[in-house]
Amino acid sequence: MKKKISCKALQSSVYFAPDELRHCCKRFFYKGEMKGDVQIFPVKKDKKIEIKDIINEKKKLINKINNGTTNPCTGCPHLVKDDWDDVEPLKLQHISIEAHSVCSMKCSYCSDVYYGGKKPNYNLQEVLDDLIKKNSFSNNVDIAWGGGEPLLLENFENILTDLTIRIKPFSNMIYSNAIKYSHVIEKYLKEDKAKLTTSIDAGNVETFKKVRGVKAFDKVFSNLKKYNDAAKKNIIIKYILTEGNYDKENLDGFISKIKNYNLQNCSFQISADFKFENINQEIFFNTLYLYKNLKEFNNISTFLDYHLKPKIKKYIEEILKSRNQELIRNLNSLCDIEKLKNSNVIIWGAGDTGRELINKSSLLKYYNIKINFFVDKYKDQNTKLNNILIKHPKDILDDNSNIIIASTQFNEEIYHELISMGINKNRIVDSLFL
């Protein structure tokens, strides 16, 4: 198989927007210009969406990328040269349902391009039925429900139920502002068939109104508590750092609210306004401050998303290059990475995160951290990634090295599997800053 340049989204993702289909929702900066949200094709009113047209457009874009022709993906950091399969037949591993942009909030960081109160130009149920009929979903597909507000999508609960039953998604993530409560969502949270992500982005009523555009601070917390009391799992609370909310007062207020509503067992996601090309020193250290405080809830899954993580890593690189000992001491006090200095580690995860870790981590080099081997259930055993052997999880039992989990989406699942294997939790290292 000849290696080519592509990415997971190009190969096997479709994002349903009100008037277009997209390959991805990732945004990146290239030559000072924000790019991303790469379109497959626009969808006019009542136009039938054909699967063959999706395949053809994916092929065209991949060919442009590999021919060196300037294209919408030029400069994207997510492109990888690898042994990618052909996109035909279509086998979707990810769909994002943002088929409408109607929302009950008006967030300061949201894009008017995609969140203007539009309804879909097509019959979403018919398109999904066609994809199922033509066997266009992989066996481990994940679904993201967005918008707008998913609960305001016509027939949302029926479509959610239909897809959950018929394709049994590996992951079923619902991005809701939690102003409206859904007993159907509650049911699937309880049954471990869905997860809910809700952004708070504030530590007090005033900032919430400023950032999210409505007075619903305590209502959102109240509904999250209701979901959590019912399900006791599968809830992710998100904090997007933007203008006016990344000060210590708001972060402390947010942490206090989490405690007051007894939500410490939830997972936490930290992000940043996608319009930030870079972050300043205050955002950097306050991000680490928030991260550390949330981790003190003894929560397994507290993580930075793809908008913020590269910016944090870039700032770490700048600190290390500067040799500024005060900044390095501050960094170490927040990420506790010095304990790995001059040591050997095992990395669980030989996918994109693992690849990025070994190719781009400045801290691995700075602290002289060596990798014994990778662990990955879903990769061919005894093959190599960057000349490092991939082994089965059971091989961890024969090695006493510390373990780094190189996965964002499945961090919690991997952690619990390690514990069930009898691995001491002190051997499991936070990979965020690496």
Tens digits of residue pLDDT in 136-147? 999 999 999 998
Angstrom distance (rounded) from CA 116 to CA 207: 23
pLDDT given for residue 112 in this prediction: 64
Among 2.20.25, 3.40.50, 3.80.30, 1.10.287, name the CATH number for the domain at 176-335.
Answer: 3.80.30
- pLDDT band of residue 300 (cuts 50, 70, 90) is low
∠ CA 227-229-234 to the nearest 5 degrees?
55
Model pLDDT, residue 358: 85
Global confidence as pTM: 0.84
The rounded distance, in Å, linking the Cα atoms of 188 and 211 is 30
| Rounded percentage of the chain residues whose pLDDT exceeds 70 | 96
Residue 434 clears pLDDT 70, i.e. is over it? no
User: Per DSSP, what are the bridge partners of residue 374?
Assistant: 347, 390
* Predicted pLDDT at 204: 98
Residue type present at position 324: N
What per-residue string of b and e applies to 106-142 under the rule 16 or more CB within 10 Å gives b? ebebbeeebbeebebbbebeebbeebeeeebbeeebb
In eight-state DSSP terms, residue 270 is E
Q: What are the residue ranges of helices labelled H in 194-308?
A: 205-212, 217-231, 248-260, 281-295
Sign, CA torsion 214/216/159/26: positive
Q: How many residues does the chain have?
A: 434
Alpha helices in 26-103 (DSSP H): 51-67
Hey, what are 224's tokens? 């999250």
pLDDT tens per residue, range 209-231 = 999 999 999 999 999 999 999 99
Of 326, 282, 288, the C-alpha closest to 432 is 288
Q: What confidence score (pLDDT) does residue 432 get?
A: 63
- Determine the 3-state secondary structure of 101 from DSSP: coil
pLDDT digits (tens, 9 = 90+) for 77-113: 999 999 999 999 999 999 999 999 999 998 988 866 5
* Structure-model confidence comparison of residues 306 and 149, the more confident one: 149
Q: What is the CA radius of gyration of the chain?
A: 22
Protein fold of 337-429: Rossmann fold (3.40.50)
Tell me, rounded to whole angstroms, the distance of Cα 379 from its chain centroid.
21
Domain borders along the chain are 1-159, 176-335, 337-429
